[in-house]
Amino acid sequence: MTTRHLYLARHGAADAFGELTGIGRRQAGLLGERLAGVPVDAVWHSPLPRAAASAHELARHLPDVPVAEAAELVDHVPYVPSAVETPPSWAGFFDGYDDTEAASGRRLAEALVARFAKVPDPTPEGARPDTHEVLVTHAYPIAWLVRHALDAPPSRWLGLNSANTALTVIEYRTALPPTIVMFNDMSHLPADLRWTGFPGGVRP
């Protein structure tokens, strides 16, 4: 049986211009230290600067692992729910999204799933060995992949938030449903670096 291990992480903390901050670099470095014991085959990142910088920062702890951009990981709204599906607290968020924008988001979401949410294709010699890939992206693509793994209704990506450099792991095995190993895990971060990217509030 072949398994594809996806290690999903939101980029480190960024400033108002979308550039990685010093805190974000520390977060990404600590995530890299955590992943150093994993046989990572590749690090993929969103085209946006905060994700690219986070990927290169964590990859300093993964010698000789290739780092490359994947357009499917860009920040996007994967699914605009209908009025019936939208919780009242989210209603204003989707104001201004027209059909063209919604369709573009759906296409990106479909491409994301088609590229990453599956077991690796077999080689001419037979099944591929297990693969381990790090995806440095944004909260919404992570939420979409988690929703997909759970086979939940499309609107359930709403509310699945990820902290900066929190780790989510999904495994894809031949002929089996996906397995969510962990979601939004921040155990590699000290207390003062946790929960960034979330609204303020009391956190455990």
**What percentage of the chain exceeds 90 in pLDDT?**
80
Tokens 């979401």 belong to 109
Are residues 142 and 162 in contact, defined by beta-carbon separation less than 8 angstroms?
A: yes
Partners of 164 in the beta sheet?
Answer: 10
Average pLDDT over residues 3-7: 96
pLDDT in tens, 133-177: 999 999 999 999 999 999 999 999 999 999 999 999 999 998 899
Judged against a pLDDT cut of 70, whether residue 58 lies above it is answered with yes
Instruction: Answer whether residue 91 shows pLDDT above 90.
Output: no
Residue 126 has pLDDT above 80, yes or no: no
With respect to residue 80, please indicate whether it lies within any of the assigned structural domains: yes
* pLDDT recorded at residue 155: 94
pTM of the model: 0.95
The answer to the question of residue 200 being in a domain is no
Give the pLDDT score at 202: 76
- Check residue 18 and give its pLDDT: 95
CATH of residue 73's domain is 3.40.50.1240
> Is pLDDT larger for residue 88 or for residue 106?
106
Would you tell me how many other CB atoms lie within 10 Å of the CB of residue 195? 19
> Any residues with CB less than 8 A from the CB of 54 and at least 6 apart, and which?
9, 11, 12, 20, 24, 27, 28, 45, 136, 165
Instruction: Find the domain containing 24 and state its range.
Output: 7-130+142-193
137 part of a folded domain: no
Structural domain includes residue 198 = no
pLDDT at 124: 61
Instruction: State which amino acid sits at residue 99.
Output: D
User: Is 136 inside any structural domain?
Assistant: no
Q: CA nearest 139: which of 69, 46, 24?
A: 46
Residue 202: inside a domain = no
Give a yes or no: residue 90 inside a domain. yes
199 found inside a domain: no
Do 154 and 36 contact (CB within 8 A), yes or no?
A: no
Q: Is the pLDDT of residue 185 over 90?
A: yes
Least confidently predicted of 65-79, 80-94, 104-118, 163-177: 80-94
- pLDDT tier at 127, thresholds 50, 70, 90: low
Q: Mean pLDDT in the chain?
A: 94
Question: For residue 158, which of 139, 177, 174 has the smallest C-alpha distance?
Answer: 139
Share of the chain above pLDDT 70, in %: 97
Number of domains in the chain: 1
